Structure formats: C-alpha cells, structure tokens
Amino acid sequence: MSGCLTLKKSNCKNCYKCIRHCPVKSIRFSGNQAHIIEDECILCGQCFVVCPQNAKEIVDETEKVKVMLQCPEPVIVSLAPSFIANYDGVGIESMREALKELGFADVEETAIGATIVKREYERILKDGEKDIVISSCCHSVNLLIQKYFPRELHYLADVLSPMQAHCEDIKRRFPNAKTVFIGPCVAKKDEAEIYGDTVDAALTFEELTNWLNDEHIELKREINKSDESRARFFPTPGGILKTMRKDAPEYTYMAIDGVENCITALRDIERGKVHRCFIEMSACAGSCIGGPVMEKYHRSPVRDYLAVANFAGKNDFAVEQPDVMLLRKNFEAIERAARIPDEYEIKDILRRMGKFEPSQELNCGSCGYNTCREKAVAIYQGKAEISMCLPYLKDKAESFSDTIVKNTPNGLIVLNESLEVQQINAAARRIMNIRSSADVLGDPVVRILDPGIFLEVLRSGRNVNDKRVYLAEYERYVEQTIVYDRDTHMIICILRDVTNEEEERGKKEDISRRTIEVADKVVDKQMRIVQEIASLLGETAAETKIALSKLKESIADE
C-alpha cells in the first residue's frame, strides 16, 4: 500500500463517522485521532467522502507530473471515461485542447483500454474454463479479494485494468512516452504505483481542475460525438456488460456495485452458492461515476449516467488487440496482521464494556461497528477504544452523576423553564418531608417552594448564591443557590440545610443577650455602690473641712 490516502491529525474531531462508513473497518482510533490501517484498507475512499472535518486527504501528484512535463519525453494522458460526467458539456476535444495548454503531448480516452479488456473477458468466457469470472477493473475490489477473500482469488480475472491496458498500448505506440491517468478514483494512485512502470502518475479530477484554475485555462463546452466509442459505458453501473457480446450462454452475466454488496456476493461464492457467472464488480455505488473524487461530491447518478450514455457510441474503438500474455496480471493474497481473539478474550472485553449478558449487547452501531462483538475484536486488535461505546459512556456518566446526586448532603431540585420539577434528590426530599420523587415530579414548583425567586432568576438571568431563607412550612432554614443554565433551559436549585446552624446561632444570641443583661445589672449595682461611697465620702470631707477651718481660725486668733 502506497499510503495515497492520509490523515490530517489536527482536523480529526473523533466523531467516528469514517469508521461507520468504512466497509472493512480499516480505521483505528488512538489518542482521539483516526488512523488508516494500510494493510487492511481497500482504498474505496468512503472515509474521504464522509469526513465532516476534511481530515482525510489524497496525496497530490500534480508537482510530480509538472516535473515530468519538463523532460524531453512526451507525456500522454489516459483520461477516464467518467470525465464527461465530471465536466458538464465538455467533450474529449475540449479536454485535449486544455490539457495540451498545460504541456501534455496528447490526450486519449481510457475507454480505449476498456475495449481491450472487455475483449479479453469475452475470450475467457468463450473458453469456459472458469466456473466464475470476476472483473478486475476496480482496484478496490481487487484489494478486497486479496485481503479479505484470498480463497476466491482464482475467480478474479487475471487481466490488466483498462487504465493499465491503455497505458501499455500508448507505450507500445510511443515507446519513449510517459503516461498519466486522470480519473475519479483514489485506488488508481495505488494501482499505478505498485504495478511497475505502466502508469507513471495518477491524478484525480479535483487535482486537474485546481491545476487548470491555477493556469487560468477554461474548458470549452462542446461535445464531439463518435460512433466508435461504446466502451465509454465502462464507468456506469453494468457498463462493462453493456459493451460485451455476452455470447457465452452457459454463463449468467450480472453487475454488482457498492462494497457491501460485493462482500455479500463474495461470501455467497465462498459458501459455494454461485456458479457459472460473470460478475462485474465495482466498489463504488453507481460504479465509477459515483467515485470518491468525482468533484461534485453530492452524487447525481441519473444525470451522470445520462451524460455518459449520450456520449457513448454503438461500436468499439478501433484498437489492435495485443497478445494474451501482454494482458496478464498476477494477483497475490495480501496478509493482514491483526489476530482474532478467542471467545474468552472477547467476553472479557465485553465485560469491561459493561456488557455481562447478550441482552446488554445493544449493537447500536454508534461506535461504527455493526455489533458489540465486532467492537470487542477491534479493541483487542488495538483499533478501537472502550470509550467509543456511546451506551457505555452514557451509563458511566449517569452512574457517576447519580452517585453525586444521591450522596451529596445538599438538596438538589431541577426545574424546566415552566418551573416544573424534573428531578429531586433524597436530601431535598428530607428537607421538605417529601416521601417519594414521584409525588412531585412534573408538578409546578409552587407545590413545594415559593416560585418568586425562580421567576426572578428566569427573568433576569442572574443567578442567586447562598441566599439564606426560612421555609416556614417545613420549619427549616436553608441557604439557597439557584442557577439558570441557558444551554439546557434548566433551573438548578441547591438547598443547604442550615437549620442546626441557625439554632446554634440562636442559642449563642440568647446566651449573649442574657450575659449582657447580667453585665448591665452588675454595672448598675456597682454604680450605686460607688455613688453611695462617694456620698459618704462627700459628707466626711465636708465635716473635716469645717473642723480644720475652725482650727485654723483659732490658731490665727492666738
């Protein structure tokens, strides 16, 4: 695997959409990031299409091709027949003119190679040696069989793809030429790289469009039809069959598109339920015109099919059929490294996911895997994490929050914006002497508390913190905190029972009051005693003064 499909780690938001849409689950999650498992990936490109963060990207070979154009050897384009659906109203002559402006020597249609390939399919069926023949045009289907159905490899037609057959044909006619394939497929980049020097580079339609825009080259909207162009049907559902003679009556001809359908068909073949068939397989739903790099992204299957059908002719391209040996392609099984856990190991992981009975295996698919057991296998293989299980996280969060709510000593009441009780914990029920939550859930809060403060918080949007109030009906003092959560449209009331504190405070105030009264009495008494002492002292002083005065006078007289 060449790694032509990569991941921008910084963009991954851990939404699991890619694994949900990956038909072979070749994506692992680690550190809240998605990683493509190259030895399991079949390059169908679905993760690229569905990623909401554009975290998957295709390796761009535009610069590589620009370097090729600087060399003296001519560079010739093999243009996938789906171009007519990607570029509305633009025919092959307009494409040739625009691409020559970019520096290419010439442009030919890959449908020429498709003509060569379909004739080889007809020859194989005519020989009648194979029980089942599966078309080998789609590299993603080839990878699917090589990696996941290796026992069915002998049914895969050992024939070059149209891209390879055409590029080989170009190089036979122009021995020193370089070839560049342009199409709607991620997998063709990998096929071009791993199968030698037949195809020197592969571009997507998006890469071509960006290049044309950078060079300010506009495509002319004109179509030149040709009657010798029946192989242009190849990128449509059943397109290969439309071009074939189907003159081997002992075979049944059928077309299957979409990886899931291909997997189902291959399983039927594996079980021995299918015989004497030619099966056209395409990984993309809608075949190549539904490819992951068709620029429109939002598929228009009917319009795109009509575009191809109107452009295709009734007869084959005039091509020279090469020797059979020159069309041979060898497919080998590709071993996947992941080991499958045994039953004990699977059950152990299921228990860690909180699934102790089969009834607890919801198989909801929120993690991206079809069943909880598949998810357990993925965890064992290091591809998934237990935290990817939504019911597990929900139960864990609810258990955690319930533990807090149930065990907090503070009363907790949750109201909606209509001031109806949505939740009430045991502590709040104790404060208000409520026997059961069911007695008040859904009822207006006015049944148990004065709604005035809640209405004020709802109106003003300002929270109330630690407001001490007396609940006369319950003979309780509480500190009331009221929070309005705009995101959830809920009002949360926290009640801290401070009755004991208030009673203790009252006792202290009573003791203080009585102490003050006693102190006042003592002070009054002391003041009276002082006053009495002062009075006595005053009389004695006056008498002494008189006596001394008389003594003084008598002395003075002498």
Q: Are residues 242 and 309 in the same domain?
A: yes
252's tokens: 């049944």
Assign residue 439 the CATH number of its domain. 3.30.450.20
Query: Do 247 and 297 have their domain in common?
Result: yes
Range of the domain at 399: 338-405
Structural domain includes residue 189: yes
Task: Among 472, 497, 522, give the residue marking a domain's end.
Answer: 497
| Paired sense of beta strands 132-134 and 106-109, if any | unpaired
Could you list the beta-strand ranges (E) of 356-504. Answer: 411-416, 421-424, 464-471, 476-485, 490-497
CB atoms within 10 A of CB 66: 12
In sequence order, what are the residues at sequence separation of 6 or more whose Cβ sits closer than 8 angstroms to the Cβ of residue 210?
A: 62
Residue 167 has a CB neighbour count (10 Å cut-off) of 27
Given its phi and psi angles, is residue 382 left (phi above 0), alpha (psi -120 to 50 degrees) or beta? Answer: left
In 3D space, the residue among 199, 185, 209, 186 whose CA is nearest the CA of residue 81 turns out to be 185
Domain shared by 182 and 113, yes or no: yes
Judge whether 106 lies within some domain.
Answer: yes
Q: On the CB side of 381, how many CA atoms lie within 13 Å of its CA?
A: 21
Q: In angstroms, what CA-CA distances link 169 with 68, 78, 235?
A: 19, 10, 20
Contact 110, 214 (CB under 8 A): no
In a domain, 244, yes or no: yes
55 and 73 share one domain: no
Element (H, E) at 203: strand 201-204
pTM over cut 0.75:
no
Tens-place pLDDT, residues 459-468: 998 999 999 9
* Buried-state track 248-285, b at ≥16 Cβ within 10 A, e below 16: beebebebbbbbebbbebbeebeeeebeebbbbbbbbe
> Do residues 250 and 276 make contact, with C-beta atoms less than 8 angstroms apart?
yes
Q: Which residues, listed in sequence order, are joined to residue 381 by a DSSP beta bridge?
A: none
What are the counts of helices (DSSP H) followed by strands (DSSP E) for the chain?
A: 19, 16
Please tell me the predicted confidence (pLDDT) of residue 165.
97
Which residue's entry shows tokens 């078309």?
135
If one counts every other C-beta atom within 10 angstroms of the C-beta of residue 394, the result is 11
Do 401 and 414 have their domain in common?
A: no
Which tokens go with 452? 């005035």
Alpha-carbon gap, residue 141 to 376, rounded angstroms: 27
Return all residues near 542 (Cβ < 8 A) that are at least 6 apart.
none
Contact 69, 61 (CB under 8 A): no
Please tell me the predicted confidence (pLDDT) of residue 136.
Answer: 96
- Of residues 182, 229, 234, 230, the one with CA closest to residue 209: 182
Residues near 267 by beta carbon (within 8 Å), at least 6 away in sequence = none
Report the candidate in 91, 85, 89, 21 with the shortest Cα–Cα distance to residue 52: 21
Residue 147 confidence (pLDDT): 95
CATH number assigned to the domain comprising residue 394: 1.10.15
**Pair (9, 65) in one structural domain:** no
Residue 29 is assigned to a structural domain of this protein:
yes
Do 146 and 245 fall within a single domain?
A: yes
What is the rounded CA–CA span in Å between residue 139 and residue 281?
10
Verify that 248 and 385 share a domain, yes or no. no
d(CA 106, CA 178) in angstroms, rounded, equals 11
Does 516 fall in a domain?
A: no
Residue 66 domain flag: yes
Q: How many CB atoms lie within 10 A of CB 134?
A: 26
In sign, the C-alpha dihedral spanning 163, 167, 173, 179 is positive
pLDDT digits (tens, 9 = 90+) for 117-168: 999 999 999 999 999 999 999 999 999 999 999 999 999 999 999 999 999 9
Is 55 found in the same domain as 137? no
Task: Give the side-chain half-sphere CA count within 13 A for 117.
Answer: 31
Q: Rounded distance, CA 25 to CA 510, Å?
A: 75
Q: Which of 303, 326, 349 is the last residue of a domain?
A: 326
Does one domain contain both 306 and 437?
no
Strand, coil or helix: 252: strand
Compute the chain's Rg from CA coordinates: 44
Evaluate whether residue 550 is within a structural domain: no
CA angle 271/272/274 to nearest 5° reads 115
> Are residues 207 and 289 located together in one domain of the fold?
yes
CATH number at residue 45: 3.30.70.20
127-134, Cβ contacts within 8 angstroms, sequence gap of 24 or more: 128/248, 128/250, 128/251, 130/154, 130/155, 131/155, 131/275, 131/276, 132/269, 132/274, 132/275, 132/276, 132/277, 132/278, 132/279, 133/157, 133/251, 133/277, 133/278, 133/279, 134/279, 134/281
Are 35 and 5 within 8 A, CB to CB?
Answer: no
Beta bridge partners of 183: 204
Of 517, 458, 470, 465, which Cα lies nearest the Cα of 497? 470
In a domain, 536, yes or no: no
Rounded CA gap, 281 and 265, in Å? 9
Least Cα distance to 376 among 264, 363, 399 occurs for 363
The kind and range of the H/E element at 78 are strand 75-79
Is there a single domain that holds both residue 182 and residue 95?
Answer: yes
Domain count, the chain: 4
| Positions in the chain short of pLDDT 70 | 1-2, 10, 296-299, 390-401, 537-558
The Cα diameter of the chain in Å comes to: 177
Beta strands in 444-543 (DSSP E): 464-471, 476-485, 490-497
Helix (H, G, I), strand (E, B) or coil at 491: strand
